[in-house]
Amino acid sequence: MNLILLLAVVVAAGAVLSVQAAINGRLGQAVGVLRGSLLTFVVGAIVTALLILFFEPAQAVSVLDVPKWQLTGALFGVVYMMVMVGAVPIVGTAVATVAVIVGQLGMGMLIDNFGWLGNPAIELSGSRIVAMACLALALVFMYRSNTRTD
């Protein structure tokens, strides 16, 4: 897959996450944050199990053979889901999404810079810092536009 197509798919995945956040926010209001999160994970687990059953080729290593720290990613998904289900009805989809992206970008820059979690090290540059500052400023402006009463 070429790089431009890959980036387009990643951008589309980000768009889908915003749709998911908006839908799950409404679900959380209707049934509660924890129940809404559980319903999302159950449906996702069923769909993923079916995809594995019908499309996933056999792997040399099973889930039980990987280092256990690699399984902690699922726990972070639970935190993300519960926070978004609770936050979107209060701050809106756009502000919640930008706030998540600020956190993702900040942590991503740290992971890249230090090569954490077995990833290649990519030096922190001035342009990356400027990008982070611009995104943080965008979050401030978006949040302030939500709270204005003019």
Over the stretch 20-66, which tens digit does the pLDDT of each residue have?
999 999 999 999 999 999 999 999 999 999 999 999 998 888 888 88
Residue 30 lies in a domain: yes
Residue 1 lies in a domain: no
Confidence of residue 91 (pLDDT cuts 50, 70, 90): very high
User: What is the reported pLDDT for 72?
Assistant: 87
Residue 76 lies in a domain: yes
Residue 44 lies in a domain: yes
Residue 141 lies in a domain: yes
Could you read off the pLDDT of 92-131 as tens digits, one per residue? 999 999 999 999 999 999 999 999 999 999 999 999 999 9
The model carries a pTM of 0.80
Residue 113 lies in a domain: yes
Rg value, the chain, Cα:
18
Selected residue with higher pLDDT from 148 and 15: 15
Total tally of structural domains belonging to the chain: 1
Domain range enclosing 120: 7-147
Residue 2 lies in a domain: no
